[in-house]
Structure 1
Amino acid sequence: MNLDLWSVLVAVLGGAIRVSTPFLFVSLGECVTEKSGRINLGLEGTLVFGAMAGYGGSLLTGNPWFGVLAAGIAGTLFGLLHGAICSLKGVNDVAVGIALMIFGTGLAFFFGKPLIQPAAPMLQPIDLGFWTSDPALRAALQINPLFIVGIAIAFAMGFAFRRTRTGLILRMVGDSADAARAMGYPIVPVRIAATMFGGFMAGVGGAYLSLYYPGSWNEGISSGQGLIAVALVIFARWNPVACFGAALLFGGAGALGPALQSVGVTGGTYLFYAAPYVLTLLILILTSSPRRALEGAPRELSITK
């Protein structure tokens, strides 16, 4: 069979941009949360609830951007709940995250039942392929504004971590709570604020799923992307700019199956669709060295103790 390599590459490019956006938002939010010394494994539940809230907000207001805002607010509330519970003495943040993942998913399914049939207004893309007559390339360069916003946030976070007082305080709280406390910085409010930001970003990532790609609300919309994004943060060594590159890598893996299917490759379809999960497993194996696995990790994280 003659495989059109150009068509596959263009399809993977377009798919990587579309699929990577939720990974990008969730991983950037989790990067901030973990920089403060807290890990949130409940982002899968936040992502699904954000998808439901975003779809419902768009349907009720007629404006998809109000849906994005509703999803962000919902995610912020989940982050506040996670941060507040984890601030209690003796509470394990990993266990709380797992509980909130189940809680958020169940809550989304309960409130989202009436939203499965109605059609909500969708987010509209920006046509960056206006200069080409190649229909495949032009379709690949239909970019959602949230993807551009995510890139800007990644580089802004990278700058903030290195060059701003806020970034320094966040890193100090994550690396040594005792040092931060000695300098007079409040540990609990910083961590709660960081967890709320992580929840907001996960909620926006969920809104992207329901309002753009795949562009509908259903109970299986997430497919574990929230959990994969947590692994992606570790793979990126807690670097927000590296999170952007890793999100594109995971997005490309997720787009491989549809890209091959679009050029007529039907054999092994389910195997290609499993590429993101296989990639996650390989990355966890390759980064499991005792000396390199936690390189760059905030020292206050529970996974480092």
Structure 2
Amino acid sequence: MQTTDIGYWSVPLAIVGGAIRVSTPFIFVSLGETITERAGRVNIGLEGILIFGAMSAYATAVLSNSPWLGVAAAGVSGIAAGLLHGWICKFPRVNDIAIGIALMLLGTGLAFFFGKAFIQPSAPRLPAISLGFWSDIPQLRTALDVNALFVVGAALALFLQWAFRNTRAGLILRIVGDSSDAARAMGIDPDRVRLLATAAGGGLAAIGGAYLSLYYPGSWNESISSGQGLMAVALVVFSRWNPLGCFAAALLFGGAGALGPALQSVGVTHGYYLFYAAPYALTLAIMIATSSPGRALAGAPCELSITR
């Protein structure tokens, strides 16, 4: 057998490589939503922020010829959207779920409107780190091509895991998420903390969108997201608001998303397309498993609207 002929071993390799590629947007969106929900707010408008971030990144990269400027522009657009969401939600009797839906529609509509001029132009792609340079097997080299944003996402998950437990900012975030009254008694303004947390979450979600348009799949079109922003909300619940859990769950979702293409790559021509639905089926299963009325969501911030 030639070194380049690895047969069905290409399936797990393709799943590993696909998990790394597909999981990166999930990592950023879920970590952003973890910050937001730790402060006691839900932002399901992340789908719209993700799409608008993808468009902003692609348009900026086309105009500036710099993918990193595109990532920065996406982050700024996400922060602005998060600030808008947080500012509206501070008013009495405003439902953050309803505002999130409105933000999702607004972000999607604006992205489609401003992005039409950038469907055809080609933007520079984000660089990849080739960890498989030592191998002569093309499938292994491809599987071990890691984008720089994946590394940043992994480092960010580790940092947030530490920061939530060991920093003053993390303590304030958890206090606000668990009890607004306790936060006020300590001289903390819950509305300000939630505003900043929602802005940070929006910025990270938009960076996840930048990855989609500037690396994988590496183009801008109106169906680029495929519901990843909404699935990330379920992913946060599944990981119990734990940053490292979000990272692991994102890899799980990424592997599920890579299953269909992996089977197709080895010649499975019947039924492989059913596996393209694996991430959506997994999301549905997670929502059913975590929605039991007979038990509380372990680890959920007490002020979170989905727990009340």
* Structure 1 and Structure 2 fold alike (TM over 0.5): yes
Choose from 196, 204, 208 the match for 1:205.
Answer: 208
1:81-92 equivalence runs, <5 A: 81-92=84-95
SS in 2 for 1:126: strand
Deviations 1:98-118 (A, max 9, x none): 010011001100000000000
1:249 matched to 2:221? The reply is: no
Q: Share of identical aligned residues, percent? A: 68
Letter in 1 for 2:40: G
1:271 matched to 2:274? The reply is: yes
- Residue 25 of structure 1 is matched in structure 2 by 28
- Residue 231 of structure 1 is matched in structure 2 by 234
Residues in 1 aligned to 2:41 and 2:248: alpha-carbon distance in whole angstroms: 23
- Residue 137 of structure 1 is matched in structure 2 by 140
Shift of 1:217: 0.1
SS in 1 for 2:268: coil
Choose from 292, 300, 306 the match for 1:303.
Answer: 306
Residues in 2 aligned to 1:25 and 1:215: alpha-carbon distance in whole angstroms: 17
Letter in 1 for 2:151: I
SS in 2 for 1:208: helix
- Residue 111 of structure 2 is matched in structure 1 by 108
Choose from 159, 171, 174 the match for 1:171.
Answer: 174
Shift of 1:4: 3.7
Shift of 1:20: 0.2
Choose from 50, 56, 64 the match for 1:53.
Answer: 56
Residues in 2 aligned to 1:297 and 1:252: alpha-carbon distance in whole angstroms: 26
- Residue 127 of structure 1 is matched in structure 2 by 130
Deviations 1:245-289 (A, max 9, x none): 000000000000111111111211321111100111111222233
1:184 matched to 2:187? The reply is: yes
Letter in 1 for 2:213: S
1:144-155 equivalence runs, <5 A: 144-155=147-158
Residues in 2 aligned to 1:82 and 1:91: alpha-carbon distance in whole angstroms: 11
Residues in 2 aligned to 1:113 and 1:51: alpha-carbon distance in whole angstroms: 13
Shift of 1:97: 0.1
- Residue 283 of structure 1 is matched in structure 2 by 286
* 292 and 19 in structure 1: CA distance in 2 versus 1, 3 angstrom threshold: farther
Residues in 2 aligned to 1:67 and 1:93: alpha-carbon distance in whole angstroms: 29
User: Unaligned regions of 5+ residues in structure 2, if any?
Assistant: 1-5
TM-score by length of 2: 0.97
Contact in 1 for aligned 2:8/2:266 (Cα 8 Å): no
Shift of 1:219: 0.1
Deviations 1:14-71 (A, max 9, x none): 0000000000000000000000000001000000000000000100111000000000
Residues in 2 aligned to 1:161 and 1:186: alpha-carbon distance in whole angstroms: 18
Letter in 1 for 2:205: A
Letter in 2 for 1:45: G
SS in 2 for 1:67: helix
- What is the root-mean-square deviation of aligned Cα atoms in Å? 1.1
Shift of 1:237: 0.2
Residues in 1 aligned to 2:155 and 2:296: alpha-carbon distance in whole angstroms: 28
1:76 matched to 2:79? The reply is: yes
Choose from 161, 164, 167 the match for 1:161.
Answer: 164
Shift of 1:290: 3.2
Deviations 1:140-168 (A, max 9, x none): 10000000000000010000001111100
User: Unaligned regions of 5+ residues in structure 1, if any?
Assistant: none
Deviations 1:225-255 (A, max 9, x none): 0000000000000000000000000000000
Contact in 1 for aligned 2:296/2:307 (Cα 8 Å): no
- Residue 3 of structure 2 is matched in structure 1 by none
